Amino acid sequence: MSSSYSISPTINSLEVYNSTTYADVLGLLLGLNRLQGETADKYLQRLEYAARLRRDHPYEGSLNQVTLALGFVPQKYIHLATGSWSIITISIAGVKIDSHTIIPILTFDSDGMWRWRMLSDVVADINTTIGSLATLLVDDGPAFQLCHQSNSQWSIAEPITGIKYQLAFPGVQVGSEKFNTTVPSYTLTSDGVLTFSSEPIANTQITYNYILSPYDVVGSPVSLVGLLDNGFSDVAETPDGALAYQVKEYVQKIMTTDRSYWTK
């Protein structure tokens, strides 16, 4: 009686490929493909961010979409402790503190090109302005990573019930409040306590402005710049009145793509 044995071939090299998991199926639903070599755990974490973050066409959504597609997530870059400052607004023009101080995030080279300042330099200038209340939370890098943002926010159509109600957000700017209907006389405090003289009618809603403090400045390794951005006109020209190098490139690209901008 004889028998035969088969010999398995020898594998000399192995290559890593992504396997298909339930995470990949979820990624199809969210429109976010797995990156080459990305583990299922890392992919699921990125999909979790994608499910929670805005990803539509306005600035915030577009930035989140591009950032997530490249394998990054927005995160906290600078912590601002509560102090004498009130409103902070960040755009390409710089960090504006209470509408009277602007800390630039870029300067101009001799050839008119934008030169991005470092995050540590921006934080140092903030601390000089408001008194050592800013802390850099990430490794140092160019300041273009600071997203356009403000700690001045709006709560839209927040439903309220009862004679006394605690609004969802403190830091209320008293006087900014608007109701969707006529309401009884009331008092409103900056910490969000709303008290009526009598019961408001059903389905009463309030819209109000509030200020976040302390505040965490959000950043991303990806930067989006638009010609209609707030503050763009402030950095479009060099100090001697010439167009910045990058702006020339933007204009050239637009005029090449859409000839309607050309004239005789």
Q: Which amino acid is at 239?
A: P
Task: Give residue 251's pLDDT.
Answer: 82
pTM value is 0.73
Domain ranges of the chain: 22-69, 75-149+215-240, 152-211
For residue 28, pLDDT beyond 60: yes
Contacts of 57 (CB under 8 A, 6+ apart): none
Q: Packing angle between helix 40-52 and helix 22-30, nearest 10 degrees?
A: 30
* 3-state secondary structure at position 102: strand
For residue 18, pLDDT beyond 60: no
User: Rounded to whole angstroms, how far apart are CA atoms 144 and 213?
Assistant: 23
| Matching residue, tokens 């577009």 | 62
DSSP string for residues in 16-35: --PPP-HHHHHHHHHT-PPP
Convert the pLDDT of each residue in 159-215 to its tens digit. 999 999 999 999 999 999 999 999 999 999 999 999 999 999 999 999 999 999 999
User: Rounded to whole angstroms, how far apart are CA atoms 90 and 220?
Assistant: 13
Convert the pLDDT of each residue in 114-166 to its tens digit. 999 999 999 999 999 999 999 999 999 999 999 999 999 999 999 999 999 99
pLDDT greater at residue 210 or residue 255: 210
